[in-house]
Amino acid sequence: MTDAALDAAPRAEIVWMRDHPPSRRAKSTGGRVIYAIGDVHGCYEQLVALLEAIVADIAQADGATPASVILCGDYVDRGPDSAKVLDALVWLRRRAPFDVAFLRGNHEAMLLQFLERPDQALLWLEHDGIGTLASYGVEAGPDEDCYQLRDRLLDAMPAAHLALLRALPVRLVRGDYVFVHAGLRPGVALARQSDEDCLWIGDDFLRRDRRFEKIVVHGHSWRSDRPEATDNRIGIDTGVYATGVLTAVRLDGAGIAFVQARRTPEGAAEMADDHR
Assess whether pLDDT exceeds 80 at residue 271.
no
Max alpha carbon distance in the chain (Å)?
Answer: 59
In CATH terms, 9-214+228-262 corresponds, of 3.40.1390.20, 3.30.70.940, 3.40.50.150, 3.60.21.10, to 3.60.21.10
pTM of the model: 0.91
Q: How confident is the model at residue 236 (pLDDT cuts 50, 70, 90)?
A: very high
CA distances from 243 to 42, 155, 238, 246, 266 (A): 13, 33, 7, 8, 10
* Domain extents in the chain: 9-214+228-262
Range from 38-42, 185-189, 208-212, 239-243 carrying the lowest mean pLDDT? 208-212
Q: How confident is the model at residue 9 (pLDDT cuts 50, 70, 90)?
A: low
Q: What is the pLDDT of residues 32-72, one digit of tens each?
A: 999 999 999 999 999 999 999 999 999 988 777 899 999 99
Q: Give me the amino acid identity at 93.
A: R
Q: How confident is the model at residue 266 (pLDDT cuts 50, 70, 90)?
A: very low
Assess whether pLDDT exceeds 50 at residue 274.
no
Assess whether pLDDT exceeds 90 at residue 123.
no
d(CA 111, CA 85): 14
d(CA 270, CA 268): 6
Q: What is the pLDDT of residues 166-181, one digit of tens each?
A: 999 999 999 999 999 9
Q: Which of 27 and 273 is assigned the larger pLDDT?
A: 27
CB 182 within 8 Å of CB 199: yes
- Dihedral sign for Cα atoms in the order 13, 168, 59, 83: negative
Q: What is the pLDDT of residues 178-206, one digit of tens each?
A: 999 999 999 999 999 999 999 999 999 99
Question: Which residues partner with 170 through β-bridges?
Answer: none
Residue 39, SS3? coil
Q: What DSSP character marks residue 24?
A: S
Q: How confident is the model at residue 209 (pLDDT cuts 50, 70, 90)?
A: confident
Q: pLDDT at position 272, please?
A: 37
CB 143 within 8 Å of CB 161: no
Listed in sequence order, the DSSP H helices in the chain are: 44-60, 82-95, 106-116, 122-124, 130-135, 146-156, 159-166, 195-200, 203-206, 240-243
Q: Which of 263 and 96 is assigned the larger pLDDT?
A: 96
Assess whether pLDDT exceeds 80 at residue 267.
no
CA distances from 201 to 122, 180, 198 (A): 21, 11, 6
Give me the count of residues in the chain: 276
Q: pLDDT at position 10, please?
A: 52
Radius of gyration (C-alpha) of the chain in whole angstroms: 18
